[in-house]
Each structure stands twice: as C-alpha cells, then as structure tokens.
Amino acid sequence: MPTQVRMKHIVVRCPDGRFHGAFQGLIEEFNLEKEGGYDLLSWPGASLPLCGPAREVFLGQIETLRRLHGNSEVWVLDHDDCGAFGQEGEADPAEEHQRHADCLRQAAALISTVCPEIIVRKFLVFEDGCFQEIDGVADSKEKRQLQLQLR
Ligand SMILES: [Zn+2]
C-alpha cells in the first residue's frame, strides 16, 4: 500500500512573475513547508475566479487536492496591481484594497460553504514583500512600520 500523502495547506496565488518572491516570502515567514506542508494552486487573480462564473472549476481543483491530501487550511493570496483584476497601474490604492477584501471574503465564504470544516485565510501581498491579512492578525506592513518607528 502506498503511504498516504498529507498536506496541511493549500496555497492559492496569482502566477504573476513580479510577485514570486513576495509570495515565497510569506510562505517562508509562516514556515508552511515545515508546518504541515502545502500544495500550490496558481491561477490569475487568486480569489477572483472564485467570485466569477467559472467558480465551480476552481473549487473543483481545491476539492481534488483535499481528497488526495486531506488539507485543512486554504490560504488565498491576492496581490496589489493585479492585471486579472484590471488594476495594473491603477491609481487609487484604497479602492483597489477594498476590491481585494470584498473578493477574498466572497471566495472564503464559498469555500466554507462547500467545506465547512476548512480554515480559510486571506491575504493581500505587496511587491515589496509586505502583506496584510484580511480579517486576520498577520500584518507585516504594520510590523515593519512599527520597527521603523522604534528605531
Ligand atoms: Zn495577478
């Protein structure tokens, strides 16, 4: 009998090459590799397709991984200046941030409806490697600003 592979997390992220380092930084900051491991799903807009007409297709990918690896957490990583959101070069950061928060919440609600026992964490990641957790506690931007103030 083959050993059953277990992975704790599913990380959903946008494939935008500018953000590889920033996403990897977040994954390392939380040590997901050692803390139960993670599977990676990469599709444009991260939370965005879960809020659109093709949501079933993307939800199906999460369900397939869950069946195979028994994942108990889904982390959705949006990023600012996202082309899939039509935001590349957009001027208003507050409005941009709000759209991601709305979309991430909608995506999380959908995942929770289909898999009620799963934990969903939602992040907005910035190109400089900072990130903010939506409705959560992790906020490296705040932390970094605090460190700067304390200096
Ligand atoms: Zn993107």
- How many Å lie between the centroid of ligand 1 and the Cα of residue 102? 16
The interaxial angle of helices 93-114 and 55-69, nearest 10 deg, is: 60
Please, what sign has the CA dihedral across residues 111, 70, 46, 99?
A: positive
pLDDT by residue for the chain (151 residues), tens only, comes to 566 899 999 999 999 999 999 999 999 999 999 999 999 999 999 999 999 999 999 999 999 999 999 999 999 999 999 999 987 776 688 899 999 999 999 999 999 999 899 999 999 999 888 999 999 877 776 666 655 565 5
pLDDT for 146 equals: 56
- How many Å lie between the centroid of ligand 1 and the Cα of residue 40? 15
The dihedrals phi and psi of 53, each to the nearest 5 degrees, come to -65, -20
Give the Cα separation of 13 and 134 in Å (integer). Answer: 15
Two tokens, residue 53: 């007409």
pLDDT for 149 equals: 60
Domains of the chain listed by start with CATH number: 9-150 (3.40.1050.10)
Give the CA angle between residues 132, 88, 112 to the nearest 5°: 45
- How many Å lie between the centroid of ligand 1 and the Cα of residue 131? 14
- How many Å lie between the centroid of ligand 1 and the Cα of residue 76? 12
- How many Å lie between the centroid of ligand 1 and the Cα of residue 84? 5
